[in-house]
Structure 1
Amino acid sequence: MKCHRVNELIELIHPEWQKDSDLNLLEFLVKLAKEAGYEGKLEELTDDVLIYHLKMRNSKKDEMIPGLAKDQEDDFKTALLKARGIIK
């Protein structure tokens, strides 16, 4: 895991873990994995699963993923022109 991803994960996990301060770190990670729908071995849980789950944990079910929302265009023509690099 890259250093910036460690920092991002710590920033995201800290306030959420404080809400469940009775859990130790491993118990909290297991809880997050279950909430995210992860069913594999805990040692194979990726930082991406944790980061995206923590980002979306307190959002509405129909809210768009933050990384996708920044690229959304209301009109197809503008989206196509941006994808082809014609406009910025």
Structure 2
Amino acid sequence: MKTHRVDELIELLHPEWRKDTDLNLVEFLLKLAAEAKYDGKLEELTDDVLIYHLKMRNSGKDDMIPGLAKDCEDDFKTAILRARGIIK
């Protein structure tokens, strides 16, 4: 895992874990995995699952996934023109 990913994960994890101070780290990771509907082995849980789950954990059901919102266009014509490189 790259250093910036570790920093991002710790930055997202810290405030959420402080809300569940009665849990140790492994218990909290298991809780996050269950919330994310991850059913594999804990050692196979990726940092991407944790990062995106922590980013979306307190957001509304209809909120857009971070990273996708920047590419979202309000109208189809603009999206097509951007995709074809006609406008930037």
TM-score, normalised on structure 1? 0.96
Q: Which residue of 2 aligns with 1:32?
A: 32
The Cα shift of 1:49 comes to 0.3
Separation in 2 of the partners of 1:86 and 1:11? 39
Query: Which runs of 5 or more residues in structure 2 are unaligned?
Result: none
The Cα shift of 1:42 comes to 0.4
Q: Please give the root-mean-square deviation of Cα atoms over the aligned residues, in Å.
A: 0.7
How do 1:53-72 residues align onto structure 2 when only pairs under 5 Å count? 53-72=53-72
Q: Which amino acid aligns with 1:66?
A: P
Separation in 1 of the partners of 2:79 and 2:29? 38
Query: Which runs of 5 or more residues in structure 1 are unaligned?
Result: none
SS of 2:61 mapped into structure 1 = coil
Aligned length: 88
Q: Which amino acid aligns with 1:65?
A: I
Identity of aligned residues (%): 83
Q: Which shifted more, 44-53 or 75-84? A: 75-84
TM-score, normalised on structure 2? 0.96
Q: Which amino acid aligns with 1:55?
A: K
Separation in 2 of the partners of 1:28 and 1:14? 11
